[in-house]
Amino acid sequence: MTTTFAPLPTTASRSAAVASTTTESIVFAPTPQQAYLVRIGDTCLIHAQRLAEWSGHAPILEEDIALTNLALDLVGQARALLTHVGAQTGFDEDQLAFLRNERDFRNFTLAELPGRKAGRDFADAIVRNFLIAAWMNVLWEKLESSSDAEIAAIAGKAVKESRYHVAHAADWVVRLGDGTDESTRRTRQAVARLWPYAAELFETDAVDTAAAESGLGPLRVALQAGWQAIVEPVFAEAGLAIPAASAFRSTGSKGVHSEHMGYLLAEMQTLQRSFPGGVW
């Protein structure tokens, strides 16, 4: 069998390709409805980035593969949402992912908090994954009836993935929380660190109101009861107490991020900004 390779591009064609792209940040000014979808897509994307940090570092091989697969599901969900928004704004999903500045990202702060590289425990990855997966599962179920037919179709596929994400994370929460003295201690510490950031998942603002009024999607506060119905039984089985409510509110969904977000984006965006328009 003879293998044929495509010819390498000439210097002129490579220069033209690079000239048609840029490393400059895009100017992105979404409508409230677009911002609503970007908030979901950004949370999927940034959470996937944090989960992917465990590739090659999880405590067992099976979980190493599982967390990577969960991250790939989330990237797929993010891509579908950003592509949909991009079609309305003139940007593609790569530009929205790699050429926006920090303040233009609208993910929840919970998703961006440091992972393995900042010395956080494996329990942090599991607890965070469970809290976000439960929220996403309730959201996707409601988005199946979105007034936007494409979003409803995306939700129909994503809700199946999110059910598995919840089940997988819940098994680990129980395994660690109701495990050895050491695993119980670390899981309780992870809950204490992460729980205050969960309040942002249910903070309704003008973006949510616009989405709800148009039928695009639900208010965030409307997701709380369903989320609690998933989280509380699992915590009870794991022997974990639900922490007391706190006045603290994180603000990532408003574009005001923690100090960790800039470092995450620097790593995530470096290839595109260093080699604009690069292809494999």
222 in a structural domain: yes
What integer is the mean pLDDT of 63-67? 90
The model's confidence at residue 120, banded by pLDDT at 50, 70 and 90, is confident
Tell me which amino acid residue 169 is.
A
What integer is the mean pLDDT of 77-97? 95
251 in a structural domain: yes
107 in a structural domain: yes
What integer is the mean pLDDT of 60-66? 88
Supply 82's token pair: 């950003």
Res 117 pLDDT > 80? no
Determine which of 60-64, 74-78, 162-166 has the lowest per-residue pLDDT on average: 60-64
- Residue matched to tokens 């677009």: 34
Of the chain, the percentage scoring pLDDT greater than 70 comes to 90
Do residues 128 and 194 lie in contact, with contact meaning Cβ atoms separated by under 8 Å? yes
Question: For 53-180, where are the alpha helices, taking DSSP H only?
Answer: 61-89, 93-98, 109-112, 122-143, 149-177
CA dihedral 224, 226, 228, 230 (to 10 degrees): -150
What integer is the mean pLDDT of 158-164? 97
208 in a structural domain: yes
Supply 166's token pair: 């919840």
Distance CA 242, CA 229 (A): 13
Specify the pLDDT at position 11.
Answer: 35
25 in a structural domain: no
Query: What's the structural domain count of the chain?
Result: 1
Specify the pLDDT at position 21.
Answer: 52
Res 17 pLDDT > 80? no
277 in a structural domain: no
pTM as predicted: 0.89
Res 9 pLDDT > 70? no
The number of beta carbons lying within 10 Å of the beta carbon of residue 51 is 28
162 in a structural domain: yes
Res 13 pLDDT > 60? no
Of the chain, the percentage scoring pLDDT greater than 90 comes to 79
278 in a structural domain: no
Res 38 pLDDT > 90? yes
What integer is the mean pLDDT of 76-103? 95
**pLDDT digits 0-9 by tens, 220-277:** 999 999 999 999 999 999 999 999 999 999 999 999 999 999 999 999 999 988 888 7
Do residues 67 and 125 lie in contact, with contact meaning Cβ atoms separated by under 8 Å? yes
Specify the pLDDT at position 22.
Answer: 58
209: domain CATH number? 1.20.1260.10
> In which domain, by residue range, is 221 found?
30-271
Distance CA 226, CA 234 (A): 13
Specify the pLDDT at position 54.
Answer: 87
**pLDDT digits 0-9 by tens, 167-212:** 999 999 999 999 999 999 999 999 999 999 999 999 999 999 999 9
